[in-house]
Amino acid sequence: MEIARKQKPLADRGIPLYRPDLSGNEKKYALDCIDSTWISSIGQYVGKFEEALARITGAPHAIVVCNGTVALHLAMHCLGIGPGDEVIVPTFTYIASVNAITQTGAKPIFAESRESDWLIDPTKIEALTTPRTKAILPVHLYGAVCDMPAIMEIARKRGLKIIEDCAESLGATLHGQHTGTFGDIGTFSFFGNKTITTGEGGAVIAADPALSHRLRIVKGQGQSLTRRYWHEELGFNYRMTNIAAAIGFAQSERLPEILAAKRRVAKFYRALLSNWPVSFQKPDVGVASSEWLVSLLLPPGCDRDRVMADMAKQQVETRPVFYCAHHMPMYADPAASVRIPVAENIAARGISLPSYPGLTEADQQRVVDAFTRALSAQGFDS
């Protein structure tokens, strides 16, 4: 049975931006953890979830951690990124991508986005490289996939590491290859609004066995995997709990069903709004998007805050897309007049619509009716 058919329409209450579908074995496996008393970072579900993630992504090694931000930090730490290094990252991204760079002592170097898919523009990367550049951090935003062949070619030519931020792209592929498997390390998030969730959680994947071994040691306080309480190097407490992994494992059992529902939701939104002056993210040829959060650009001159407020009055939740990182107080350079125009335009005009797998077509019609009424109030029409 399709996920949407399991949910009751939300006609008598508001439509949230996201609501995870927990209708599988989540409760059963979580209660199994409680009954067994294995609720911390040791237990059968940690291994089961890691094996599931390895199967899903095709990566030889998957290591779960407590959230997506520490997954990024762990990846950079284990690749030797630190003070004096530079990491190229799109300015149009969730701030965790940038904060994790800074937490290592390295410097984020902000890159432009492409107008089509809103992702890092490979043609602008090489001009940003310097002798201090250590890595590129492409971010697969909203379920689309970066131009990884072009990025990998730059990395090979320049001798750079690649960390893929796949927080929003579980289930997304480019020509059949899953995100996170192109570069040195892929990182994932399982926050409550992600395609599959553990509440809070994350993971790293890698192909290199020595690197994977180190990722596993460092995430657990640097403790040897064979000698308990013997700590081989500086490490962190980035472990996922067994109870969180149990929820994630249950979610992973239904990933194809969840992805199919999210893709249905995205397709229906595009059809309903095809005659309106809005533009959607356009993934590259060969990309199968996970359609994490359906987002679009409002017409130029449209007041986004007013649209969101009008929709909120109609009990439909929305949110703006991410603001550019180079505009944030801790990263803005008051002495420089930095312009990254494509990314800035996307950040200023983008809005995300309710996108969870349980949305019915009636729910989506209600969202679109609220959205088009808000556009019409500002003089825009189909």
pLDDT in tens, 75-86: 999 999 999 999
- Residue 41 in any domain: the answer is yes
Q: Are residues 113 and 9 in the same domain?
A: no
Mean pLDDT of the region 147-175: 98
Residue where one domain finishes, among candidates 218, 253, 288: 253
Q: Yes or no: say if 195 and 292 are a contact pair by the CB < 8 Å rule.
A: yes
Given 232, 253, 274, which residue is the final one in a domain?
253
Please state the rounded mean pLDDT for residues 77-100: 98
Q: Which positions ≥6 away from 330 have C-beta within 8 Å?
A: 102
Q: Look at the pTM and tell me if it is higher than 0.85.
A: yes
Q: Is residue 118 part of a domain?
A: yes
289 and 228 in a single domain? The answer is no
Percent of the chain at pLDDT exceeding 90: 95
Please report the pLDDT score of residue 338 as a whole number: 81
Both 324 and 209 in a single domain? no
Task: Reply yes or no on whether the pLDDT at 318 is more than 80.
Answer: yes
Domain enclosing residue 95, as ranges: 26-253
- Domain assignment of residue 381, yes or no: no
Q: What's the pLDDT at 334? A: 78
Q: What is the pLDDT of residue 333?
A: 84
Same domain, 202 and 330: no
The CATH number of the domain holding residue 91 is 3.40.640.10
DSSP state of 65: E
Domain boundary among 253, 280, 300: 253
Residue 204: φ, ψ to 5°: -125, 145
Amino acid letter, 9:
P
At residue 11, the pLDDT reads 47
Tell me 191's DSSP state. Answer: B
Q: Give the pLDDT of residue 6.
A: 55
pLDDT digits 0-9 by tens, 43-68: 999 999 999 999 999 999 999 999 99
Of the candidate ranges 61-70, 135-144, 296-305, 334-343, the one whose mean pLDDT is the lowest: 334-343
Around Cβ 354, how many Cβ atoms within 10 Å? 25
Do 149 and 235 fall into the same domain? yes
Q: Is 171 within the bounds of a domain?
A: yes
Task: Assess if residue 329 is contained within a domain.
Answer: yes
Instruction: Classify residue 206 by its DSSP letter.
Output: E
State pLDDT tens for residues 143-155. 999 999 999 999 9
Q: Are 240 and 330 in the same domain?
A: no
Q: Write the pLDDT tens digit of every residue in 109-120.
A: 999 999 999 999
The pLDDT mean for the chain works out to 96
Residues 98 and 202 occupy one common structural domain: yes
- The partner residues of 186 in beta bridges, in order of sequence, read 164, 205
Confidence at residue 335, expressed as pLDDT on a 0 to 100 scale: 72
Q: How confident is the model at residue 2 (pLDDT cuts 50, 70, 90)?
A: low
How many CB atoms lie under 10 A from the CB of residue 152? 17
Do 224 and 266 share a structural domain? no
Parallel, antiparallel, or unpaired: how do β-strands 319-320 and 161-165 relate? unpaired
**Residue 264: which CATH number?**
3.90.1150.10
Kindly state whether residues 46 and 188 are assigned to the same domain: yes
**Exposure letters 93-106 (e unless 16+ CB within 10 A, then b):** bbebbbbbbeebeb
* In a domain? residue 382: no
Domain-embedded: residue 350: yes
83 and 151 fall within a common domain: yes
- How many domains does the chain fold into? 2
Q: Look at strands 161-165 and 107-111 and give their pairing.
A: unpaired
Instruction: Identify whether residues 11 and 143 lie together within a single domain.
Output: no
Task: Report residue 10's pLDDT band, with 50, 70 and 90 as the boundaries.
Answer: very low
Q: Is residue 235 part of a domain?
A: yes
Q: Does position 37 have pLDDT exceeding 90, yes or no? A: yes
pLDDT tens digits along 191-233? 999 999 999 999 999 999 999 999 999 999 999 999 999 999 9
pLDDT at 100: 98
CA distances from 286 to 48, 55, 144, 147, 259 (A): 30, 21, 11, 10, 17
> Are residues 280 and 351 located together in one domain of the fold?
yes
